[in-house]
Amino acid sequence: MRYEWYRWRWAALDWLFPPTCGGCEMPGERWCRDCQVKIAPVAPPFCERCGQTTSGGGLCDRCISSPPKMTAIRSWAVFDGPIREAMHRVKYRRDVALAEALSRPLVGYVRDLNWHLDIIVPVPLSAKRMKERGYNQAALLAKPLALGLGLKYCDKALSRGRDTRSQVGLSLDQRRQNVHGAFSASKSMVSGKAVLVVDDVATSGSTLDSCAEALWHTGAENVYGMTLARAVLSSK
Ligand SMILES: [Zn+2]
Ligand SMILES: [Zn+2]
């Protein structure tokens, strides 16, 4: 499917069901200019590996002491203000059209990173969670991103074998343990490929790291991570 067609389809739905802004509820657009202006980009200096903001750039302390599995992780915006509202709406209030609006800036952002990529893969939900929610919010961002970049979208490349509890409220070590070994990858889809894994929000990066582990294990050539937003770490 072409990117223009994908976007047009959502725009047609806006015409039928006039949207309100995902950040401030103003009627008219899915994502308004005011909210866009309020977005705080994850600006340098940040760790060149995990993408978490640091005071001096280079590698952060965490990446020096225990290097992450991803070659690099980047996030577009700080998880705060209207973007926090919007992600909540995508995830818990079934505003699936909003995800398409939020994915748009990611296309240029990822292109400017100049990463060599072959395929785009969303962080999968467990079968149980997928059944409850009916859609995967990471896939709603990853699909238009793949179309916009002209890359292959592989939503079956990763699967989540077991249901993991929410990472909210867990310490860094607990987060790592919670998702360790939770994912497996399809060898035929990822072997020899440079993979970009997409998620909505990253905090510690443990989920992406666990995905990376599965992808390296199945012979991926390279593994990068991209999230729409980045939560500031509350504990070290
Ligand atoms: Zn707004
Ligand atoms: Zn780091």
Q: Which sequence spans correspond to the domains of the chain?
A: 3-230
Residue of 94, 83, 87, 162 whose CA lies nearest to 128: 162
Nearest ligand (C-alpha, residue 23): 1
Query: Which residue is it, tokens 């008219």?
Result: 28
Amino acid, single-letter form, for residue 96: V
Give pTM, 2 decimals. Answer: 0.93
Nearest ligand (C-alpha, residue 24): 1
236 pLDDT tier (thresholds 50, 70, 90): very low
The predicted-structure confidence for 127-181, as pLDDT tens digits, reads as follows: 888 999 999 999 999 999 999 999 999 999 999 987 777 777 778 788 888 888 8
pLDDT score of 90 more than 70: yes
What is the pLDDT, as a whole number, of residue 35?
95
CA torsion angle 145 140 228 127 (round to 10): -130
Fold of 3-230: Rossmann fold (3.40.50)
What is the pLDDT, as a whole number, of residue 22?
95
What's the 68 CA to ligand 2 centre distance in angstroms?
8
Nearest ligand (C-alpha, residue 36): 1
Query: Which residue is it, tokens 């990376």?
Result: 212
**Mean pLDDT value across residues 101-126:** 96
The predicted-structure confidence for 35-72, as pLDDT tens digits, reads as follows: 999 999 988 899 999 998 888 879 999 899 988 999 99
pLDDT score of 14 more than 80: yes
